[in-house]
A and B are shown apart, each in its own frame.
Chain A
Amino acid sequence: MDNRLLSVKNLSVDFHTSHGTVHAVRDVSWHLDRGETLAILGESGSGKSVSASAILNLIDMPPGEITQGEILFEGRDVLTMSSEDRRNLNGHRIAMIFQDPLSHLNPVYTVGFQIAETMTAHGVDKAEARSRTISLMQRVGIPEPDTKVDAYPHQFSGGQRQRIMIAMALALKPDILIADEPTTALDVTVQAQILALLKELQQETGMGLLLITHDLGVVAEVADRVVVMNAGQIVETGTAAEVYHRPTHPYTKKLIAAIPGDGAMAEPLDSATKPILDITGLTKHYGSFVALDAANLTVLPGESVAIVGESGSGKSTLAKTVLRLEEATSGSALFEGRDLVSMNDKELFNLRRDIQMVFQDPTQSLNPRMSIFDIITEAFVIHPEILDKAQWKTRVCALLEQVGLKADHMYRYPHQFSGGQRQRIAIARALALEPKLIVCDEAVSALDVSIQAQVLSLLTGLQDELGLSYLFIAHDLPLVRDFAHRVIVMQAGKIVEQGPVAQIFDAPQQEYTRNLIAASLSPNPDIQAERRAAARQLHGVDA
């Protein structure tokens, strides 16, 4: 008999699908003590969320099935409890917050109702619940909680919504908080605030924090211990520092090696070359809202220019305006000397060949009803002058091999590929038109770290081979540091700073850029500990 707060023992969960049984979690054991933070680290499909969902009875059964094991909460196996007993644990003793707070909050009820519901569902009366809701909202840092309590989720920012989720989860001071990728959908600066809030609340209440994440930076910042999962099994456990500095399992080693941010930075290209894209004073208004304010930038042939900034900073608007997916309000964008902004439809059609786009989510940007062959050759259907029909097959084979896939993949459909493979297909589709410039809008953000590294090296290889230019929109700074020649920093529709990558990362001029770089988490727990200490000192001096 152990007296752990929570321990999962030899848990196995299967999912029965029409394609056969998936062993999502196999013989997994871990434990969590009071006041401690345990991180479960893994890539998508590793089964990292499954054991946590099993604790709260959130697995749909069927298709899910718990085939063996036990989950002991204060020594009692929750899997053998009645569903009513388990419902009483949820929200009361064990609470959970999720990755995407917008979809996890009910859009048609006020946030006040939803926070209070945690309490009313466990017997607190309505008036009492409401007054406690307001003080909770105050505690998690929502301004004007008296009025905001009656606002709806869509009226808050992403960071505030996650604060509301936290308030909801902590309403009854649970013993355990499970946080499933709590900061993945947030900007880096907001991520830092949310993690700090979670740490603070943990110190106040002494709860055990179970953090599910794919991000070693988050682990380094908050975790005491870490469990690394791969393909449903635990491959490594240890303290955060041990696992980072002395990984023993090959998978962990590979994972740590794939983390971007410490490679050599690219040298700037010769700026005397004539730019392929020259943007001057590009502006986009939506009514009275200025989404893009007089942007000036150039892209040289064979150059990767990264655009970074927080959400809402105008980086996607910039890309869309260049591609004429949105009409610019004013300014010009010269592509090889011809102005994209004032071009007529026919000229634009011919030019579309030269500028291609790769989107964030390959699952959504590839038509699920078209085979890979159809997806790639659609380019030749639209622009028949590129290639004679007889040669389509040879060309598709060549393209697929160029992006690291096999020729016999061409008759398959998108759902038969993994996320990384799909993004390769999207790149092959863009390459089919032999473009000179590819706009990548968060093209690797949805991919796992190890896959990210592969796709980025593919992009770099193609650049060397074909002399492509990239306009690379990203929010992940370490990634940009390894990939880009030049970096453009955007804030509130304006370009606040731009320069060679080494200059931006080593000697940023603007306060905003410095904050952005500082907020980006290092996967090294020692560095994060140093930064926290420095921040505390600074805070102490301020106070």
Chain B
Amino acid sequence: MDASEESRNQFREIHGLNDPLFVQFLSYMADLVRLDFGDSIRRSEPAIDVVLRGFAWTLQLAVITMSLVVVFAIILGSLAAFHVGGVFDRLATFFSLIGSSAPDFWIAIVAIVIFSVNLGWFPTSGTGTVWHWVMPISVLFIRPFGLILQIVRGSMITALGSAYVKTARAKGVGNRPIIFVHALRNALLPVITVIGDQAAALLNGAVVIESIFGFPGIGKLMINSILQRDFTVVMAAIMVTALAIFLMNLVIDILYSILDPESGIDPWHRLTFRLPTFPPHPIPWFRPCGCSGPINSPLSR
């Protein structure tokens, strides 16, 4: 810190650092309610603006990736379940197992070496063109895809072996409606929990991937802000991530009550008194809100 005494005082005055601690805290909390986290210490613009800009990038990345994951995992997982033990099932199981167990930073680095450095197909970092998105999305895709495909497959095997599927066969219902109408909707209930969890994990995983691919999302911003001790931005980023994960849990709860008529009640009602769980995570403050799915879900029966 080689600033002059005068400019230090000026900085303290501007940022209210001379006030008593509880006054600082109260004014901080009051601002927080208005989503005003104060200015970024490094960038002299509101921290929330910086964070929202980054969040917009991450959100796009996450939504595109997750949509692809859900579509492919459900279709391929269902087909694998329908032909259990067949060639397709074995291939799908093999690759999804590898995908869900390989660490994503490793895949990212190997992908850069192969596709950017050696083959020169895709740029290594940045966001300029569509091609810039291919590698981050592909790398982020692999893990949740493998995991969700496995869950869909297992859940579909159970559903396809169920008594109501037998009834449908006895009625003369064709194979496609049996898979995608009768079995899938039942099989989706446990899958939705995992999808929510994986979507939350994607926001976390983005920290690593965004840093590797130089992607200007909230994850990279957070790492940079921590390194630069830009605390207002760190706090804002945590709040925004927390809020996003909270909203996603809400959406999942609502989806549950739509998909499962036995839950049978006003979807908003069940949300009122639900304590979040804190699953273990290497960066504990990254999951401020539970993302392990509805606790009192009707499926726990």
Please indicate the chain A residues that have their CB under 8 angstroms from the CB of B8 in the complex: none
Please indicate the chain A residues that have their CB under 8 angstroms from the CB of B163 in the complex: 98, 100, 103-104
Q: Is B162 an interface residue (CB 8 A)?
A: yes
Q: Can you list, as one digit per residue, whether each of B26-68 has a CB less than 8 Å from chain A (1) or not (0)?
A: 0000000000000000000000000000000000000000000
> Which listed segment binds B: A117-125, A275-283, A290-298, A375-383?
A117-125
Compute how far the CA of A87 lies from the CA of B178 in the bound complex, rounded to whole angstroms: 12
A118 pairs with B186, CB closer than 8 A: no
Interface residues of B in 158-181 (CB under 8 A from A): 162-164, 166-174, 177
Min C-beta distance of A100 to chain B, whole Å: 7
Min C-beta distance of A126 to chain B, whole Å: 14
Q: Is B259 an interface residue (CB 8 A)?
A: yes
Compute how far the CA of A59 lies from the CA of B94 in the bound complex, rounded to whole angstroms: 29
B171 pairs with A91, CB closer than 8 A: yes
Please indicate the chain A residues that have their CB under 8 angstroms from the CB of B167 in the complex: 96, 98, 104-106, 114, 165, 168
Q: Is A107 an interface residue (CB 8 A)?
A: yes
Please indicate the chain A residues that have their CB under 8 angstroms from the CB of B262 in the complex: 107, 152, 154
Please indicate the chain A residues that have their CB under 8 angstroms from the CB of B168 in the complex: 106, 117
Please indicate the chain A residues that have their CB under 8 angstroms from the CB of B185 in the complex: 108-109
Which residue of the partner chain, among A58, A88, A109, A122, contacts B169 with CB atoms under 8 Å?
A: A58
Which residue of the partner chain, among A103, A108, A117, contacts B171 with CB atoms under 8 Å?
A: A117
Q: Is B261 an interface residue (CB 8 A)?
A: yes
Q: Is A56 an interface residue (CB 8 A)?
A: yes
B261 pairs with A118, CB closer than 8 A: no
Compute how far the CA of A98 lies from the CA of B171 in the bound complex, rounded to whole angstroms: 12
B172 pairs with A108, CB closer than 8 A: no
B172 pairs with A91, CB closer than 8 A: yes
Please indicate the chain B residues that have their CB under 8 angstroms from the CB of A58 in the complex: 166, 169-170
Compute how far the CA of A96 lies from the CA of B264 in the bound complex, rounded to whole angstroms: 29
Given contacts A103-B164, A106-B164, contact A95 B186 (CB under 8 A): no
Please indicate the chain A residues that have their CB under 8 angstroms from the CB of B169 in the complex: 56-58, 90
Please indicate the chain B residues that have their CB under 8 angstroms from the CB of A117 in the complex: 168, 171, 173
**Chain B residue, CB-CB nearest to A107:** B262
Q: Is B13 an interface residue (CB 8 A)?
A: no
Interface residues of A in 104-138 (CB under 8 A from B): 104-109, 114, 117-118, 121-122
B171 pairs with A118, CB closer than 8 A: yes
**Chain A residue, CB-CB nearest to B174:** A87
Min C-beta distance of B18 to chain A, whole Å: 59
Please indicate the chain A residues that have their CB under 8 angstroms from the CB of B166 in the complex: 58, 98, 104
Please indicate the chain A residues that have their CB under 8 angstroms from the CB of B132 in the complex: none
Compute how far the CA of A169 lies from the CA of B168 in the bound complex, rounded to whole angstroms: 10
Compute how far the CA of A56 lies from the CA of B262 in the bound complex, rounded to whole angstroms: 30
Q: Can you list, as one digit per residue, whether each of A18-62 has a CB less than 8 Å from chain B (1) or not (0)?
A: 000000000000000000000000000000000000001110000
Q: Is B260 an interface residue (CB 8 A)?
A: yes
Which residue of the partner chain, among A100, A109, A114, A122, contacts B172 with CB atoms under 8 Å?
A: A122
Interface residues of A in 66-118 (CB under 8 A from B): 87-92, 95-96, 98, 100, 103-109, 114, 117-118
Which residue of the partner chain, among B164, B173, B261, B264, contacts A104 with CB atoms under 8 Å?
A: B164
B186 pairs with A90, CB closer than 8 A: no
Q: Is B182 an interface residue (CB 8 A)?
A: yes
Compute how far the CA of A390 lies from the CA of B142 in the bound complex, rounded to whole angstroms: 58
Q: Can you list, as one digit per residue, whether each of B253-265 has a CB less than 8 Å from chain A (1) or not (0)?
A: 0000001111010
Residue with the highest number of chain B CB atoms closer than 10 Å, among A91, A100, A122? A91
Interface residues of B in 185-227 (CB under 8 A from A): 185-186
Compute how far the CA of A96 lies from the CA of B166 in the bound complex, rounded to whole angstroms: 10
A106 pairs with B172, CB closer than 8 A: no
Compute how far the CA of A227 lies from the CA of B301 in the bound complex, rounded to whole angstroms: 40
Number of interface residues, chain B, beta carbon within 8 A: 21
Please indicate the chain B residues that have their CB under 8 angstroms from the CB of A95 in the complex: 170-171
A106 pairs with B186, CB closer than 8 A: yes
Given contacts A103-B162, A106-B182, contact A87 B172 (CB under 8 A): yes
B173 pairs with A107, CB closer than 8 A: no
**Chain A residue, CB-CB nearest to B166:** A58
A107 pairs with B172, CB closer than 8 A: no
Min C-beta distance of A176 to chain B, whole Å: 12
Compute how far the CA of A95 lies from the CA of B167 in the bound complex, rounded to whole angstroms: 9
A90 pairs with B170, CB closer than 8 A: yes
Residue with the highest number of chain B CB atoms closer than 10 Å, among A88, A98, A107? A107
Min C-beta distance of A149 to chain B, whole Å: 14
**Chain A residue, CB-CB nearest to B188:** A108
A88 pairs with B172, CB closer than 8 A: yes
Min C-beta distance of A41 to chain B, whole Å: 22
Please indicate the chain B residues that have their CB under 8 angstroms from the CB of A105 in the complex: 164, 167
Compute how far the CA of A121 lies from the CA of B168 in the bound complex, rounded to whole angstroms: 10
Compute how far the CA of A56 lies from the CA of B170 in the bound complex, rounded to whole angstroms: 6
Please indicate the chain B residues that have their CB under 8 angstroms from the CB of A168 in the complex: 167, 171
B170 pairs with A108, CB closer than 8 A: no
Which residue of the partner chain, among A57, A88, A92, A108, contacts B186 with CB atoms under 8 Å?
A: A108
Please indicate the chain B residues that have their CB under 8 angstroms from the CB of A154 in the complex: 261-262
Please indicate the chain B residues that have their CB under 8 angstroms from the CB of A98 in the complex: 163, 166-167
Please indicate the chain A residues that have their CB under 8 angstroms from the CB of B260 in the complex: 107-108
Compute how far the CA of A105 lies from the CA of B261 in the bound complex, rounded to whole angstroms: 13
Min C-beta distance of A487 to chain B, whole Å: 34
Compute how far the CA of A87 lies from the CA of B175 in the bound complex, rounded to whole angstroms: 10
A107 pairs with B171, CB closer than 8 A: no
Q: Can you list, as one digit per residue, whether each of B102-130 has a CB less than 8 Å from chain A (1) or not (0)?
A: 00000000000000000000000000000
Please indicate the chain A residues that have their CB under 8 angstroms from the CB of B172 in the complex: 87-92, 118, 121-122
**Chain A residue, CB-CB nearest to B171:** A91
Compute how far the CA of A63 lies from the CA of B137 in the bound complex, rounded to whole angstroms: 42
**Chain B residue, CB-CB nearest to A94:** B170
Compute how far the CA of A118 lies from the CA of B167 in the bound complex, rounded to whole angstroms: 10
Compute how far the CA of A125 lies from the CA of B264 in the bound complex, rounded to whole angstroms: 29
A121 pairs with B186, CB closer than 8 A: no
Min C-beta distance of A26 to chain B, whole Å: 24
Residue with the highest number of chain A CB atoms closer than 10 Å, among B162, B167, B185, B262? B167
Min C-beta distance of A195 to chain B, whole Å: 20
**Chain A residue, CB-CB nearest to B161:** A60
Please indicate the chain A residues that have their CB under 8 angstroms from the CB of B261 in the complex: 107-108, 152, 154
A107 pairs with B170, CB closer than 8 A: no
Compute how far the CA of A184 lies from the CA of B172 in the bound complex, rounded to whole angstroms: 25
Please indicate the chain A residues that have their CB under 8 angstroms from the CB of B162 in the complex: 103
Min C-beta distance of A168 to chain B, whole Å: 7
Please indicate the chain B residues that have their CB under 8 angstroms from the CB of A88 in the complex: 172
Min C-beta distance of B170 to chain A, whole Å: 4
**Chain B residue, CB-CB nearest to A152:** B261
Compute how far the CA of A104 lies from the CA of B161 in the bound complex, rounded to whole angstroms: 11
Compute how far the CA of A113 lies from the CA of B260 in the bound complex, rounded to whole angstroms: 15
Min C-beta distance of B82 to chain A, whole Å: 12
Please indicate the chain B residues that have their CB under 8 angstroms from the CB of A100 in the complex: 163
Residue with the highest number of chain B CB atoms closer than 10 Å, among A92, A106, A165, A169? A106
- Known A117-B173, A168-B167; 19 more pairs at CB < 8 Å: A58-B166, A89-B172, A91-B170, A96-B170, A98-B166, A100-B163, A106-B167, A106-B168, A106-B186, A107-B164, A107-B186, A107-B262, A108-B186, A117-B171, A118-B172, A121-B171, A154-B262, A165-B167, A168-B171
Query: Which A-B residue pairs are the 3 nearest by beta carbons?
Result: A91-B172, A90-B172, A91-B171
Binding site for B on A (CB under 8 A): 56-58, 87-92, 95-96, 98, 100, 103-109, 114, 117-118, 121-122, 152, 154, 165, 168-169
A-B residue pairs in contact (CB < 8 Å), sample of 19 = A56-B170, A58-B166, A58-B169, A88-B172, A90-B171, A91-B170, A100-B163, A104-B163, A104-B167, A106-B168, A106-B186, A107-B186, A108-B261, A117-B171, A118-B171, A154-B261, A165-B167, A168-B167, A168-B171
Binding site for A on B (CB under 8 A): 162-164, 166-174, 177, 182, 185-186, 259-262, 264
